[in-house]
Structure formats: structure tokens, C-alpha cells
Amino acid sequence: MAGEILDNKGRGGVGWEWPAIHPEGRKLGLIAVAASLFFLFALDWAIIGWPLLFLSFGVFAFFRDPERVVPQNDAAIIAPADGIVTLIEEVQPPVELQIDDGSGVAGLPSGLVTRISIFMSVFDVHINRTPIGGTVRRVVYIPGRFMNAELDKASEENERQHILIEQTDGMKLGFTQIAGLVARRIVPFVKPGDMVAKGQRVGLIRFGSRVDIYLPAGTDPSVMIGQTTIAGETVIAQIGQRGLIEGIAQ
């Protein structure tokens, strides 16, 4: 049930259920179903109709939108995307999140911060969620290329959308939705001035992509390269907490 409080002491009931399909996917899936039925029954072209019908189920699966249990620890920074951590490195935040945009609200300060890159394959859930709660200060869309989103330079050359969130205590955090080889559209659910809760849905990227998150200064990641994250659930860092961790692939 949406909004139900769950915890690690067994309070709150839960059971498996089919995930909902986001409205963006319902119309595309229904179009694919209609096309497949036309080829199957109107034209009797099974060689096209059956693959299209299979594709329609794939479209519905791609746009699945499961409920997530969001940790409510104030210091926790939550993964914005389902996928695999492919890059963790020290970088300058994007210029679009630093410069004065005329809104009267300062952007991120300059200086090196830790960037965590999460790559989403076509098999992952593609609904993105905000890592922290607060006020949306910037949503900046930048057209660009559609190279492999796993490449480091995709952060600067691919189609992308920057989002800046400010907590009530003034701490700001930025993250970027990046289109990939197959992705051709970034769909925002929020705009500047909106209030968002931690883990709230803020957008989606169609068909394979990546999300970069820029941790606040003085904060180290709690995830490792190769680790799988779940949007809205995986704690990728604790604000102000230092100390890197190691893991073994097995």
C-alpha cells in the first residue's frame, strides 16, 4: 500500500504484487498491442504480428513502476536509479549546476566532489527518484549526442537533464539524467519550485541510460563499483560521513 510505514522490526504487512505500469508506458504498450493484432488478424502476417506482440509486453515491462520502501534517515542519500554503479570519481560539478542562473538561489559551490554514476540497462526500472527531500531549485535540459551512457564523456556530450535539490537546512545536491545509445527522451515529472520528498519519482529516461549524482563535499560513497542499486531504497552515502569501503565480487 502506498505510504504505508514499514520497518526492520516486522511492523507493516507486505506481499509481492505485479508492479504498476507508468502512464508513459501504457500508451506505447497499447499502440504496440494494437499494431500486433492488426498484423495477426487483419493481414494474417504472423511473422510480424507475433514479434510485435512480444515487443508490446517488453514495453509494458520497461515502464513498470514498483513501490519502494524509502529509508527515512535524515542523513541518508538514496540511489536515484536502478542499475549498476559503473564509475566513482572526483570531478567538478556540472557548470549548469554551479553558475548563477538568475533565480536568486546559489548553485553548487566549485571544487572537487565525488560523482557516482549508475548505468541502467533496458531491463532495469527506469523511473528515477530524488536522493534527498527538499525544494527543486533547477531543472536544466541540455540537448546532445546519444553515445554509450557507460562512457565517462557521456556526462558532457550526451543529451542530459540536471536537477538541483535544496534541503530545508540549505544543503544542496545535484544529479543528472543522461540519455544513452537507445534512450531518446528524458521525461521530467518536476519543475523548479516543487517540493519533493526523499525517494519521490522525479522523471524517467526511455530505453537505457545513466544517472550521475554529485555528493556534497566531505561525503564519501557507501557503494562500490559493480554494486547494484535500487532507486528509492539503496543508501549510497551518509551526509558528512567519510571512509571508503571495499568489496569482493563473488
Give the catalytic positions in this structure: 209
Cβ-contact 197, 74 below 8 angstroms: no
Q: Report the 3 state secondary structure along the chain.
A: CCCCCCCCCCCCCCCCCCCEECHHHHHHHHHHHHHHHHHHHHCCCHHHHHHHHHHHHHHHHHCEECCCCCCCCCCEEECCCCEEEEEEEEECCCHHHHCCCCCCCCCCCCCCEEEEEEEECCCCCCEEECCCCEEEEEEEEECCECCCCCCCCHHHHECEEEEEEECCCCCEEEEEEEECCCCCCEEECCCCCCEECCCCEEEEECCCEEEEEECCCCCCECCCCCCEECCCCCEEEECCCCCCCCCCCC
Q: Do residues 102 and 135 make contact, with C-beta atoms less than 8 angstroms apart? A: no
With a CB cutoff of 8 Å and minimum separation 6, the contacts of 90 are 112, 113, 114, 115
Within 13 A of 177's CA, how many CA atoms are on the CB side?
31
